[in-house]
Amino acid sequence: MAVGGPSGAPGDGIEDGEVFADINITPLTDIFLVLLVIFMVTTTAIHEADKAGFEVTLPRAGKGTQPAPVRDLTVAILADGRTVMGGRVVDAAALGGAFEAARARGAGATLLVQADEGVPHGRVVAVMDLARRHGLTRLAIATRSDPDGR
């Protein structure tokens, strides 16, 4: 057997008919690192998109005797009076449409109102009255527990 490579140059250590078995994993490593960076950026963007950017500070209340209701629909009322449903600010017409759709899904639909503690009482009553006019009769107001138990 003659010693020489595919180019026929003698001395490269590969004999005729032998298989070159070295694998260069540098390009594979580069691809994995790029995919890792893409994954990290994407998951951060998805995590930030899940946060609607609205903060509601619920009022404090003592523990009730009834279990928390099953909520079919949740409406948040921000401190500035805006209403939020599903992470989007909605007006009264869209809110009424959502209440109609919830009522159409089932007679026992429950509305949970998450009103900021700084929201005027009249605004909460207006949202609950709108729900009642659209056929929702099971209404609940979200609170956070008072650590003093008052």
Please, what is the average pLDDT of the chain?
77
The pLDDT score that the predictor gives to residue 112 is 87
pLDDT, tens digit (0-9, with 9 covering 90-100), for 99-123: 888 888 876 778 888 888 888 888 8
| Residue 106 to residue 7: CA distance in whole angstroms | 79
Contact 6, 18 (CB under 8 A): no
Do 85 and 135 have their domain in common?
yes
The per-residue pLDDT for 52 is 55
**Of 22 and 75, the one with more pLDDT:** 75
Indicate if the pLDDT at residue 75 is higher than 80.
yes
**pLDDT tens digits along 3-12:** 554 555 555 5
For residue 150, tell me if it sits in a domain: no
Q: Are both 133 and 100 inside the same structural domain?
A: yes
DSSP class of residue 3 equals: B
Work out how many domains the chain is built from and give that number.
2
Do 64 and 47 sit in the same domain of this protein? no
Does 74 lie in the same domain as 45?
Answer: no
What CATH number does residue 66 fall under? Answer: 3.30.420.270
Q: Is residue 89 domain-resident? A: yes
Whether 133 and 73 share a structural domain: yes
CA–centroid distance for 11 within its chain: 63
Identify whether residues 46 and 94 lie together within a single domain.
no
Per-residue model confidence (pLDDT) at position 32: 94
Q: How confident is the model at residue 37 (pLDDT cuts 50, 70, 90)?
A: very high
User: Is residue 95 domain-shared with residue 70, that is, in the same domain?
Assistant: yes
| pLDDT tens-digit series, residues 13-34 | 666 777 777 888 898 999 999 9
DSSP 24-86: --HHHHHHHHHHHHHHHHHHHHHHHHHS-S----PPEEPPPSSPPPPPSEEEEE-TTS-EEET
Q: Is 133 part of a structural domain of the chain?
A: yes
Whether residue 138 is found in the same domain as residue 69: yes
Between the alpha carbon of residue 60 and those of residues 64, 68, 100, 123, 149, the distances in Å are 12, 15, 30, 18, 10
Q: Is 69 inside a domain boundary?
A: yes
- Residue 68 and residue 2 share a domain: no
- Domain limits for position 41: 1-51
Residues 42 and 65 occupy one common structural domain: no
Greater pLDDT, 59 or 136: 136
